[in-house]
Structure 1
């Protein structure tokens, strides 16, 4: 009886529940995550899940925390170069939200949750390490986190707008072709950058934005 009980506890561990919730969220979004769907996926009853997680909000927070913990696993505490560390954190968040679009929505809905606060603190600590004057800490930090989560969320939203199986290169080429055909008198800039749009890499473009912000932050040191 004890062995059977131990096996049952292992099968219904909080970690297993969170991993199953993430799978449901990735497949169908937040609307698909219900305790009934989760119980069916885990082949158990809802009551057993409530033993580990109080409600859906707590489950979403736990799932977000799990994703962020994995994304931050490559960030140490003693990097010699705070700029490099900021780039690692930023790209980790970009990739995490790209793989799990619901995370971006969860961040915007509950920015005070522990997972978000850890990211905020990690970026803020590196801003301070850059030698930014204390009076400029908040503005420098705010510019970074706003760009990171805004750009990452927009990238994930753009991906969701495309039908499954859509060829990204073909879609970008089609948009770029439309820009190239715009009236040159009204849209000279868009016509000129159209080839760059067609050939750009989302991650490289994202990091270029981080570097531009860091360059600006460097001017206030």
Structure 2
């Protein structure tokens, strides 16, 4: 009995909150929110429920921690490191963001790719923003964008407006893209889905949908990532035009 107790204690001590959250992300990626249960976690981690409850109180806390972990990784915009630059200094300007505008694009792309990679993330972000904007996730994203908006020279009176607009575009566009990518159009792959959509647009009434018909062919084979970044550039260009730096 004493031996089993010591082994149990060692397993509990070895099981960190970080490992639990890592396993939770793996389960969410594989099976969505419905697949994240404490029973599934205990099986994946080869431990008992008590060891998990020692670190996290309930599923909501676990979902929040998983969301925060993925978002934190997505927001980590750092200079590129190479074997020849151990301190992190880039060997060439192209290897790292070199302006607030470039860093905003990098942050936006990091969030876009995180939402694309983790199917459950868009829903969790929407939940956090609507139910607990005072929690850790929304302020983390807002701070990351806001510091760079300030570095652009945007006047202080426009910081909140500009940062909010950026954040809404990034999360909205990235979330919609992830939804579209997985909608599948009834089992179709992405190219088939886009082709079917373009074909349907081309068959719309020419009097009511002249513009939509004219651009329908551009739907086929477009690059979601490229389209997203084009939107970021439009927003940034608008910021520069309508909120020039203070003299």
TM-score scaled to structure 2, two decimals? 0.81
Alignment-derived partner of residue 98 in structure 1: 116
Output aligned runs, 1:20-59, within 5 Å: 20-59=23-62
| Equivalent position to 1:18, from 4, 16, 21 | 21
Give me the whole-angstrom Cα distance separating, in 1, the residues matched to 2:7 and 2:128. Answer: 39
Deviations 1:136-179 (A, max 9, x none): 11111111000001111111112232179742112111111111
Cα-Cα RMSD: 2.3
Structure with bigger helix share is: 1
Cα pair 1:75 1:88 within 8 Å, conserved: no
Cα pair 2:29 2:120 within 8 Å, conserved: yes
TM-score scaled to structure 1, two decimals? 0.90
Alignment-derived partner of residue 68 in structure 1: 71
Q: Which has the higher contact order (CA 8 A, sep 6+)?
A: 1
| Unpaired stretches in structure 2, ≥5 consecutive residues | 80-95
Alignment-derived partner of residue 172 in structure 1: 194
3-state SS of 2:197 partner: helix
Give me the whole-angstrom Cα distance separating, in 2, the residues matched to 1:161 and 1:32. Answer: 19
Higher mean C-alpha displacement, 54-63 vs 5-14: 5-14
Alignment-derived partner of residue 132 in structure 1: 154
Deviations 1:95-152 (A, max 9, x none): 1011112222222222333233222101011111111111111111111000001111
| Equivalent position to 2:207, from 164, 175, 185 | 185
| Unpaired stretches in structure 1, ≥5 consecutive residues | none
| Equivalent position to 1:202, from 224, 236, 243 | 224
